[in-house]
Amino acid sequence: MSTEGNGVVSTGSTTRAGSTTRAGSTTPGIAAGGLDEATLAELREITTRYPQPRSALLPMLHLVQSVEGRVTSRGIEACADILGLSAAEVSGVATFYTMYKRRPVGDYHVGVCTNTLCAVMGGDAIFERLKDHLDIGNDETTEDGKITLEHVECNAACDYAPVVMVNWEFMDNQTPESATTLVDDLRAGAEVRSTRGPRICTWREAERVLAGFPDDRADEGPAAGPATLLGLRIAKERGWTAPGGEESGGTGSPADTKQQAQDTSYSDRARSETDIEESGADTAGGKDDVK
């Protein structure tokens, strides 16, 4: 950081009059540009949660989205100023992760998984139906500002394919018909509950939660569904348990016992081969000594 003769503070490629780049600093120029002081205070608060303030950038960007509806240039400048980073560094992060949006998002972000398993189970058909029904394309928002539609690569819920997410909450085992009903209910203001989570809130409210400000809905809805728990149920029915150590005396499932025996056999064989190699090396060494 250097201070030029006219009192402008310069940090790398960014230069802002009347601002500082010290983490946790006040930002009067940015506050005047749009972000209110309450938001700036919360951005600074987030930095106190981490040993290194710059580690707070991801939740800070989520907070910007909760206020601005997207990552704006003034949000980028605010984060950069508070963390002592350049705007280019912050922008690089904001454009790398797909959860950060550079265009305004509607009240409900509807993400349709079109990755392999969801696609073959009907994800592509769901996405096409919603585009026609809402009269919008990928990453576009309806005229009433209610729904933003986006195809996503994977929602990490293949056991419930095809999956749709609304503001990052799961809607499992969808069909073109159920997905159409879903977006109609959202646009009408009806209460919608996720399959394995809480009531659906607005996108901005969800972004505030991702910034680390709880909405007291964490305990709503089941934490896991039948497909996720199927393996556990089968294990209980067959009396399978995890392999135990020598002290516990656990035996585990038949498959575990067989695997343990194989591991022991491999280990013994490896030790035997090592002993032979070392013995051979010793013998060779002895011959050299005799010579």
Q: What does the pLDDT read at residue 260?
A: 53
Q: What does the pLDDT read at residue 18?
A: 33
- Let me know: does 162 contact 123? Beta carbons within 8 Å: yes
For the stretch 237-251, pLDDT in tens is 999 998 875 555 555
The CATH class, in words, for 108-210 is alpha beta
Angle, vertex CA 52, rays to CA 48 and CA 55, nearest 5: 85
| Mean of per-residue pLDDT scores for the chain | 81
Q: Which residue has the higher pLDDT, 279 or 80?
A: 80
**Arithmetic mean of pLDDT, 274-285:** 48
Burial group, residue 165, by CB count within 10 angstroms (0-12, 13-18, 19+) = buried
**Arithmetic mean of pLDDT, 187-205:** 94
Q: What does the pLDDT read at residue 193?
A: 94
Per-residue pLDDT at 107 exceeds 90: yes
Burial group, residue 45, by CB count within 10 angstroms (0-12, 13-18, 19+) = middle
**Arithmetic mean of pLDDT, 64-71:** 96
Torsion of CA 253, 256, 261, 263, to 10 degrees: -170
High-pLDDT (> 90) share of the chain, %:
63
Per-residue pLDDT at 26 exceeds 70: no
Per-residue pLDDT at 254 exceeds 90: no
pLDDT band at 149 (very low <50, low <70, confident <90, very high): very high
Per-residue pLDDT at 127 exceeds 90: yes
Q: What does the pLDDT read at residue 226?
A: 86
Q: Where are the domains of the chain?
A: 2-96, 108-210, 239-269
Per-residue pLDDT at 164 exceeds 90: yes
